[in-house]
Structure 1
């Protein structure tokens, strides 16, 4: 009797978090990352697995190719995106796209994901595969059809573009929770003085509505403009209910999910430095909130 064909799931499932992590960091989309992982699994099922010496390398290579294809087309579509673009947010949970706990806060933050946008698709692929997922340059060279030396040069160029842009987290969880709750309360009440107290002088506010929901079309710089904007929004709501559905880590940073007066969720993520809020990321585009809505039992219709 011939030997039974090994179950493809047995070799795929342990690698699936890495595939989603790679896809998410490459594309900025949780949904796309899950689709990539599913597509890789279908290809893995159809492959003669008996001749694959290193299943993880095969699976990562397949995911990287799919992510590169998506990234190239997404960059064209993004040229027509309305307002600032932000990645899809991910609640900090066991389902987060990661291989190790350290990766959650350092390479999943929205700040770092935005920094990755500086890289060309090949630079992004090589940096993520090598520096974040420990893939050797020989394997990467085979993936991209370039020499190993060229891949090393591209990796150096990518690191130079990124510089020291990875975010630093200096507050204990209790301190960041307190600051997050204070910020939410101030945006509810429109307390402009409290907002200025909480914000860093050079705070930057990113708002992503995708042209679907109202949002600022440009970044907002400085504590004065930011405080006035949040105070004005509170006055505009004038008693309309906003309920907090989740408070905790989102993409490794403190944040919360609210149900807004229009009946749709909104995600707010804070970057905290030196006891002040240094950056604010507000995601309102419902197309980027489907995974979080599902987790929280919300309907986007």
Structure 2
């Protein structure tokens, strides 16, 4: 009973980290919780007499469970479970360079997407080493490979993640420029400027065609601001410190093809206001 109490206390002590590991590995909150529960079933039956590093041992057990789940998912040819949800935010906040760097980091939607393209062993090696700083010799024991082979798996995964992150960052940067140009033209009543960033078949609700959309927005959107909404460039209009409307833009190439306006946005959206030169002058 004393050993079981000790094990239960250690598991509770490390549970947050164990769930974080499973979440990064599996990309799903529900599956992460299942993995942690399965890990508890396994460790509760194990002999802990030789365990000197409870945190490392528990991480290894969770990693093995996740590896099995990833292999089973691949054998069923299931679709990815989706991107990691952002941490809830209390409300809009101004961006500083550190905020933008963090939001542009690969750990987020871009990382989850590219992780779903990796083999289970590559995914485990990268997540455990690069995200959670687990030594390669411990990861090698989980994968039943040599530390050198495990290092190569992580290196290969790292190159793919880095490439995907760079592509994603470039796309976000360009979309932000298009959204900023659209809002500047709308506020200034610049009809030609609006047409320059609108696709000929652009639409907003029941309004179709670039000229109709430009006419609708020309001279409007004066209070809208460029923002990252859940990490995606968009525009928001706030009232008394609360986001009252979100403008989501579909951009193909350098042109806006669709604008969706949500006047009842989720209060847990992660909203980071971004400064533009035009807004400073407004």
Q: Which residue of 2 aligns with 1:52?
A: 51
Shift, 1:242, TM fit: 6.0
1 CA distance for matches of 2:88 and 2:48? 32
Asked whether the 8 Å contact 2:67–2:120 carries over to 1, the reply is: yes
Q: Measure the CA separation in 1 of the matches of 2:275 and 2:265.
A: 26
Q: Tell me, yes or no, if structure 1 residue 246 matches structure 2 residue 267.
A: yes
After superposition, the Cα gap between the structure-2 partners of 1:65 and 1:86, relative to the gap in structure 1 and judged at 3 Å, is closer
Distance 1:3 1:77 in 2: 42
Name the residue aligned to 2:82: 87
- Equivalent positions of 1:1-301 (< 5 A) are 5-78=4-77, 81=79, 87-93=82-88, 105=103, 106=105, 108-166=107-165, 192-193=213-214, 221-222=252-253, 224=255, 227-230=256-259, 243-249=264-270, 254=271
2:49 is paired with a residue whose SS is helix
| Residue 138 of structure 1, CA deviation | 0.9
Mapped contact 2:140–2:147 kept (Cα < 8 A): yes
Instruction: Report the equivalent of 1:286.
Output: none
5+ residue gaps in structure 2?
Answer: 90-101, 184-202, 234-249, 277-282
> How far apart, in 2, do the equivalents of 1:4 and 1:29 lie?
32
Measured at CA, do residues 124 and 274 of structure 1 come closer, stay the same or move farther in structure 2, by a change above 3 Å? farther
Q: Between the two structures, name the one with larger relative contact order (CA 8 Å, sep ≥ 6).
A: 1
Shift of 1:11: 0.7
Q: Note if contact 2:115-2:161 (Cα within 8 Å) is conserved in structure 1.
A: yes
Say if 1:162 and 1:4 are closer, same or farther in 2 by CA, change over 3 A: closer
What SS does structure 1 have at the residue aligned with 2:110?
helix
TM-score with structure 1 setting the length: 0.54
> Structure 2: how far apart are the matches of 1:74 and 1:148?
26
> CA, structure 1 residues 221+15, in 2 after alignment: closer, same or farther (shift >3 Å)?
farther
Q: Which runs of 5+ in 1 are unaligned?
A: 95-103, 206-218, 235-240, 256-271, 276-301
Name the SS for the 1:49 alignment partner.
coil
Name the TM-score, length of structure 2 as normaliser: 0.57
Task: Quote the Cα distance in structure 2 between the aligned partners of 1:188 and 1:58.
Answer: 54
Measured after TM superposition, the shift of residue 158 of structure 1 is: 1.5
Higher share of residues assigned helix: 2
Alpha carbons of structure 1 residues 12 and 245: separation in structure 2 relative to 1, 3 Å: same
Q: Give the conservation status (yes or no) of the 8 Å contact 2:136–2:150.
A: yes
Shift of 1:75: 2.7
Q: In structure 1, the residue corresponding to 2:56 is in which secondary structure?
A: helix
Q: Separation in 1 of the partners of 2:22 and 2:4?
A: 28
Residues paired across the two proteins, number: 203
In terms of Rg, which structure is larger?
2
Q: Do 2:25 and 2:124's aligned partners in 1 also have CA atoms closer than 8 Å?
A: yes
Match in the other structure for 1:292: none
Change (3 A) 1:10 1:78: same
In 1: Cα distance, 2:130 partner to 2:157 partner: 10
Deviation for aligned residue 1:17: 1.9
CA displacement 1:140-168 (0-9 Å, x = unmatched): 11111101111112222222222354466
